[in-house]
Amino acid sequence: MSTDTTGGNLLQMNQGNQARDLTRRLPSFILAWGAPIAILLALNYADLPIRQASLAVTACFVWMGVACAVNAIRCRRRHCYFTSPVFLLGGVAAYLAGYNIIDIGQNGLTYVAWGTFLVAAIMYLPEGIRGKYMR
What's the pLDDT score for residue 24? Answer: 83
Query: Which range, of 10-14, 61-65, 69-73, 111-115, averages the lowest pLDDT?
Result: 10-14
What's the pLDDT score for residue 135? Answer: 78
What's the pLDDT score for residue 33? Answer: 94
6 compared with 88, residue with greater pLDDT? 88
Query: Which range, of 8-12, 17-21, 81-85, averages the lowest pLDDT?
Result: 8-12
Residue type for position 93: A
64 pLDDT exceeds 60? yes
From the list 11, 44, 39, 17, the residue with the least C-alpha distance to 110 is 44
21 compared with 65, residue with greater pLDDT? 65
76 pLDDT exceeds 90? no
12 pLDDT exceeds 70? no
pTM of this prediction?
0.83
Distance CA 32, CA 75 (A): 15
